[in-house]
Amino acid sequence: MKKNILITGCSSGLGLALTNYYLKNNYTVYGISRNNPNISNHNFIHKSFNLSNISRIKEELSAFILNIKEIDTVFLNAGMLGKIKLLNHLSIEELNEVYNLNVYANKEILDILMTIKVKNIIVISSGASKNGYKGWGSYSLSKAGVNMLVNLYSNEMIDTKIIALAPGVVKTPMTDYIRFELDENIFPSVKKLNEGVVQTPEETAQKIFELNKNLSDFASGSYVDIRELKPN
């Protein structure tokens, strides 16, 4: 019997790479994203929905998720960077836009998942949740919120292993924007990113696939940075 995987933000970047990697390894993948990734595979079932519309998540997604009944691993991957600007230039509306998608949308989905059998949940976090990079205010605040969200739900979803995972720097339009379009004299993190290791989404998906095999090594509710793990 094929194992079921649920992935949000499956139409691009890391989410798409995870979708393709798990399909290649003979899993059934259920995907949620605003845009259809146009994957031609009978083991892929897609639901089009904009997760920024948090007030409608339970109404629109409950039936889709509950129909899966039993899930091996959920990847809550959908998220956004928000505007890179000084914190005193960020409006509450701009902060809320990022927080809604990166934190509250995940909260709504976790509430649905609590009602079915789920073995593992991996919520995509970031090293920015631990490091307050200049200009990353909305993103860092939201990813720190993700870490605490995971910690809190681990005490309520006691039969599910849930972790917050920082995947490292992944080459996506989001990171390309930071690396190539921002002024490193104003935002020092640009230089730091360009001097570090940048992985392709496919490379990162493979690492996460291998990590997921050994998820029992990590305490539920914990934050894990994939860059700090020793290779097997």
Model pLDDT, residue 231: 66
**Whether the predicted pLDDT of 1 surpasses 80:** no
CATH of domain 4-169+200-227: 3.40.50.720
Give the integer Cα–Cα distance in Å for 67 and 70: 9
Model pLDDT, residue 232: 58
Give the integer Cα–Cα distance in Å for 128 and 136: 8
SS3 2: coil
Give the integer Cα–Cα distance in Å for 112 and 20: 25
Percent of the chain with pLDDT over 90: 79
Q: What is the mean pLDDT of residues 179-191?
A: 81
**Whether the predicted pLDDT of 2 surpasses 90:** no
Give the integer Cα–Cα distance in Å for 9 and 216: 25
Domain limits of the chain?
Answer: 4-169+200-227
pTM of the shown model: 0.95
Mean residue pLDDT across the chain: 93
Model pLDDT for residues 77-135, shown as the tens digit of each residue: 999 999 889 999 999 999 999 999 999 999 999 999 999 999 999 999 999 999 888 88
